Structure 1
Amino acid sequence: MTPPSPREPGRYRVELVCLGNICRSPMAHVVLEERLAEAGLGDVVEVTSSGTGGWHVGNRMDRRAAATLSAAGYDPSRHRARQYAAGTADDVDLVLAMDRDNLEDLGGVSPRVMLFRAFDPVARGGDVPDPYYGGDAGFEEVLSMVERTSATLVAAIASRLGHS
């Protein structure tokens, strides 16, 4: 999968979207930012996340999501939930929805809007399951999907920006 071209040469903006912006998209946000920094792209790629619903705006991420990230060595403390704003796809380079319902809420696939797991090297195009109503194992499963997909996504963005 090849991400769309950047709107501004040498810079890239990614928006990650789930339902409430307290589990899946903030987990992906934290991991993707970390992977981009490790690849030397932290200064040229901006990552944001949001939810299609506004129920949790301003809240920290779900405590189980934060605990799963912390246990894996990530820092979840900066996240505050935001709601996806209409027109965001016109301002960023790539909007990645965590599942098909989120994708539908965003208006469906377009050149700049697609599923996050379109970049998953194991199960391309699948949904990131919502772990909210389950146990800890669901958050660990999401983290595993997010880590491997983020690695592929970072490589694709680096290639798009001409970084090796």
Structure 2
Amino acid sequence: MPFRILTVCTGNICRSPAMHLLLAHELAGDERFAVSSAGTHAEVGWPVHPPMDRMLIARGIDVEGFSARQADRHMLEESGLILTATQQHRGWVAERDPRTVRRVFTFTEFADATTGAPAGLESAELVAWAASHRPAVRVRSIGAATRRGYDEGDILDPYGRGDAAFTAALLQIDPLVQRVARVLKSCAA
């Protein structure tokens, strides 16, 4: 059984597909991992939203056949690691299934928490290590007010904005994918 990684955003058409498809691309050929995505309020059945689709294709990522899905309790239960675009999404996941609280992180938070993780940990051990080393354990309620709608480390939502917003979101996602893929690849088989 591969270690399941789920990426989550709101509509599952911009940020979480980019996180999912780029991370899956970096982990391609490593059968230890299975990466998928879903949304808290998914545009079920929609493809990757333009211009994100074009930006991913330009990086050699196949977006053909992608279809947005609504996150549900079964997906959350079966995922060994859940990476969200924002703290608000992390809160949504934890409210839906409180058992995920030690397996759900914002993408930025997991990348930061695993910096300096000991080599040779198994995937589940890495997630537990990251949970015990996260900078601040605070899961927000989905109704919590935030400054300008975003918390530090959140990936900006480009939906409904121009190409520059999609580029900015991808510029946040790219280095996180590299860091997370590197630490996952270092996990013990």
1:145, distance to aligned residue in structure 2 (A): 2.0
Runs of 5+ in structure 2 lacking a partner? Answer: 113-134, 136-151
Aligned mate of 1:21, from 4, 12, 24: 12
- Tell me the residue number matched to 2:88: 101
Q: How far apart are residue 87 of structure 1 and its match?
A: 4.1
Q: Report the counterpart of residue 4 of structure 1 in structure 2.
A: none
Bigger Rg, structure 1 or 2: 2
TM-score where L is the length of structure 2: 0.71
CA deviations on 1:82-120 (whole Å, 9 max, x unpaired) are 000124332111011111121121126721011111244
Cα pair distance change 1:133/1:120, threshold 3 Å: farther
Percent identity over the alignment is 31
Does residue 66 of structure 2 align to residue 79 of structure 1?
Answer: yes
Contiguous gaps of at least 5 residues in structure 1: 1-7
Stretches (4+) displaced over 3 A = none
Length-normalised TM-score, structure 1: 0.81
Matches within 5 A, 1:8-157: 11-37=2-28, 40-41=29-30, 43-54=31-42, 56-107=43-94, 110-120=101-111, 126-157=153-184
Q: 1:92 to 1:120 in 2, by over 3 A?
A: closer
Segment drifting more, 79-88 vs 20-29: 79-88
The question of whether the paired residues in 2 share the 8 Å contact of 1:99 and 1:127 is answered with: yes
Task: For 2:3 and 2:182, locate their aligned partners in 1 and report how far apart those are by CA, in whole Å.
Answer: 13
Larger helix proportion of the pair: 2
For the residues of structure 2 that align with 1:141 and 1:72, how far apart are their CA atoms? 15
Measured in 2, the distance between the counterparts of 1:117 and 1:133 equals 23
Would the aligned equivalents of 2:83 and 2:110 in 1 still touch at CA under 8 Å? no
Kindly report the root-mean-square deviation, in angstroms, between the aligned alpha carbons of the 2 structures: 2.0
For these two proteins, the number of residue pairs brought into alignment is 147
The answer on whether the counterparts of 2:86 and 2:153 sit within 8 Å (CA) in structure 1 is: yes
